[in-house]
Amino acid sequence: MGIAAQPTPAKLVLPMLTNEPELFALASEALCRHFGRIDYVSTVIPFTHTAYYAAEFGTGLQRQFAAYHDLIDPGELAAIKEITDALEQEFAVAGKRRINLDPGYLTLAKFVLATTKDQSHRIYLGRGIYAEVTCNYRQGAWQANPWTYPDYRTIEYFRILTELRVILASQLKSCA
């Protein structure tokens, strides 16, 4: 029989998606009020891997990743998703989102995203929120799963996750 223990703290990562790039800074500022200071911001990346969001957001979508200095308990992911969903609504116009905020967390072994959509490979966390292990770190590299979104399969996203993993490893080492 195993003994339950506290999980290793994880790095909060917030991929943001919009066709209004000025919203990256505004959303980041709002998110800092909830999660503390940002210690990583990616370059802005064109989002061209699917037309899934086109009806809601239009064309010219771009993605930017932000990560937060304060590590989190992975068990907080559902509550974090509720906060980001509320912020999406604050930025909405006439009930239409202008920015998509998809919180997740990074450990040394995996990248997990929160979602409100159930699928066979997702685990229910509570509060209407599910978690998906989007990528795994195995044999010295990031690996996609069969269900991994097309953009999260790219070398560019793997590079970002690797940079974040280096930051996390340093943070965990300094906490030890």
Confidence (pLDDT) at 90 = 96
Confidence (pLDDT) at 166 = 98
Q: What is the domain extent for residue 36?
A: 11-175
pLDDT tens-place string over residues 11-40: 999 999 999 999 999 999 999 999 999 999
Confidence (pLDDT) at 54 = 86
Answer yes or no: is 6 within a domain. Answer: no
Q: DSSP states of the chain as a string?
A: -----PPPPBEEEEEEEES-THHHHHHHHHHHHHH--EEEEPPPEE--S--TTHHHH-S--EEEEEEESS-B-GGGHHHHHHHHHHHHHHH-BTTB-SEEE--EEE-SSEEEEEES---TT-EEEETTEEEEEEEEEETTEEEE-TT--GGGGSHHHHHHHHHHHHHHHHHHHHH-
Answer yes or no: is 2 within a domain. Answer: no
Confidence (pLDDT) at 53 = 84
Answer yes or no: is 4 within a domain. Answer: no
Confidence (pLDDT) at 176 = 65
Confidence (pLDDT) at 1 = 81
Instruction: Tell me which residues of the chain have a pLDDT lower than 50.
Output: none
Answer yes or no: is 72 within a domain. Answer: yes
Confidence (pLDDT) at 52 = 82
Confidence (pLDDT) at 2 = 86
Confidence (pLDDT) at 33 = 96
Answer yes or no: is 152 within a domain. Answer: yes
Structurally, how many domains does the chain consist of? 1
The pTM of this model reads 0.95
